Every structure is written in C-alpha cells, then in structure tokens.
Amino acid sequence: MYLEIVTPEASLVSGEVDSVTVPGVEGEFQMLNNHAPIVSLLGEGKVKFSGNPTIAEGFEKKFTKEGDKWVLQISSGTLEMNNNKAIVLAD
C-alpha cells in the first residue's frame, strides 16, 4: 500500500509500505494491503509502519525504529485509507 504522512511543516513520508499502525481515538489499529476504505480521527500516540518509503530530507530525526518498524510520535490527526493509499494528516 502507499503511505503519505503530512504535517503542517511538510510531507514527511511517501512511498510503499507493508503495514501501518495508527493511534485511533478508540485504540490502536493496523491496516494491511487492500484494507477497506476508512476515515478515522487519531489520538496521541505512535504511527508505526514497515517498509521502505521515502522520509523527507531534514526530518529523519522525527522518526525512531522499533524492531523493523519506523515510528513517528503524533499528538493528533486524521487518517484516510482508500484505494490502497493511506494518508495521515498529523499534528
């Protein structure tokens, strides 16, 4: 699936990933390839993804690694998953 993570500062991530885990307001959930369309509010927590997407130059320090997953801490946001493309608008 294709993942984009966008903040007010910049587009931080874009590219193909194997999975995405997000902090929904009702709890953490994961999306894999061909997930059903969804729109969700996100709460404070970690956006985790595996794969090798492009991380924008100058923003690498915002990400950490947990095992084979990249991790970005967010305070809130919105997620849209449609047509095998996940877009996270994060604060």
* pTM listed for this prediction: 0.95
Based on the number of CB atoms within 10 Å of its own CB, is 66 exposed (0-12), middle (13-18) or buried (19 or more)?
exposed
**What is the percentage of the chain residues whose pLDDT exceeds 70?**
100
Mean pLDDT rounded to a whole number for the chain: 97
pLDDT at 54 (0 to 100): 96
What does the pLDDT average to over 22-42? 97
pLDDT, tens digit, 9 for 90 and up, residues 43-53: 999 999 999 89
In whole angstroms, give the CA distance from residue 91 to residue 83: 24
pLDDT at 17 (0 to 100): 98
All domains of the chain in start order, with CATH? 2-90 (2.60.15.10)
